[in-house]
């Protein structure tokens, strides 16, 4: 009994499967749906039920209905560019839920993080990760995972069949890049984050802080080992940054120059980050 509260039903369509693949798909769906129903996190909509319609060849998940818009809609409403502090706060919450699913045994890799799959719950104002249609439980050493994702947001290793928690870090970095610069990674999916050939974030949006540019560039590094080591580490960096943003534009910082004698002080411009 679900009561009178509205629910969302996610429909997943099965197609082009032979009988062997069909049975495996049903088994995988049941297993993964059962595991998803066990997840408890404020940024994951509660999943109440799941079932398979054999006649139509379709799978269904019944979950909590989120009545807020997604981040893509928020971006459009903002005229294409979202405030840096707001994006940072959203990303901190995204890192928290990614850290949660990555900490499962085996880890859950979301694989399709993008603005359209992050919603804002109008009741709690919390970021919600809403579409687990292609999320997968992946053992740390597992190879040959099906390459599914959204071009531009998906990291290079995903299309080679390799996926790991840092793959989601790349997608979150790409999402932040899009929200902050207005440049959709899907428009140039293979090269947009090759900053030797394409503009870095602050070349597109000069008002972006230097530290945010550094954060984004690290998150979308080509090699996973060069990204943040985990969603938790990513979130900690963002949390430190947002505390600075909440203070507003910092005043002049007194930083000794390398050749300054003891007792002397020089004034550094306000746009120099004392953490870098």
Q: Just list the catalytic residues.
A: 112
- Which 8-state DSSP code applies to residue 127? E
Please, is 230 exposed, middle or buried when counting C-beta atoms within 10 Å of its C-beta (0-12, 13-18, 19+)?
middle
Name which of 236, 47, 216, 42 is nearest 131 in CA terms. 47
- 3 state SS of 254: strand
For residue 220, the tally of other CB atoms under 10 A from its CB is: 25
Judging by beta carbons within 10 Å of its beta carbon (0-12, 13-18, 19+), is residue 64 exposed, middle or buried?
middle
Who contacts 237 (Cβ-Cβ below 8 Å, separation ≥6)?
215, 228
Among the residues of the chain, which ranges form H helices? Answer: 19-37, 71-77, 84-102, 165-181, 201-204, 210-219, 231-246
Which of 164, 167, 171, 44 has its CA nearest to residue 113? 171
Query: 115 exposed, middle or buried (CB, 10 Å; 0-12, 13-18, 19+)?
Result: buried
Contact predicate 68/77, CB 8 Å: no
Closest CA to 154 of 166, 171, 179: 171
């Amino acid at each position: 009994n679900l009561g009178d509260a509205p629910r969302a039903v996610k429909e997943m369509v099965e197609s082009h499967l032979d009988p062997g693949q069909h049975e495996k798909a049903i088994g995988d769906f049941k297993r993964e749906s059962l595991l998803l129903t066990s997840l408890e996190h404020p940024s994951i909509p509660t999943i109440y039920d799941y079932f398979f319609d054999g006649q139509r060849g379709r799978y269904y998940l019944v979950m909590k209905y989120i009545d807020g818009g997604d981040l893509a809609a928020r971006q459009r409403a903002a005229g294409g560019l979202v405030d840096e502090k707001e994006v940072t706060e959203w990303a901190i919450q995204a890192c928290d839920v990614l850290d949660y699913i990555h900490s499962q045994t085996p880890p859950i890799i979301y694989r399709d993080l993008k603005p359209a799959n992050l919603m804002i719950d109008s009741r709690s104002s919390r970021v919600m990760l809403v579409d687990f249609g292609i999320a997968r439980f992946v053992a740390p050493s597992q190879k040959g995972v099906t390459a599914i994702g959204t071009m531009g947001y998906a990291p290079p290793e995903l299309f080679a069949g390799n996926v790991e928690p840092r793959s989601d870090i790349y997608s979150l970095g790409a999402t932040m890049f899009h929200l902050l610069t207005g440049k959709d990674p899907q428009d140039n999916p293979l090269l947009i984050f090759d900053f030797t050939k394409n503009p870095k974030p602050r070349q597109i949006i000069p008002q972006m802080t230097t530290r945010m540019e550094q954060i984004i560039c690290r998150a979308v590094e080509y090699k996973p080992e060069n990204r943040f080591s985990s969603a938790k580490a990513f979130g900690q960096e963002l949390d430190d940054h947002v505390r600075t943003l909440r203070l507003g534009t910092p005043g002049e910082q007194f930083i000794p120059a390398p050749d300054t004698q003891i007792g002397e002080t020089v004034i550094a411009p306000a746009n120099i980050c004392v953490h870098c």
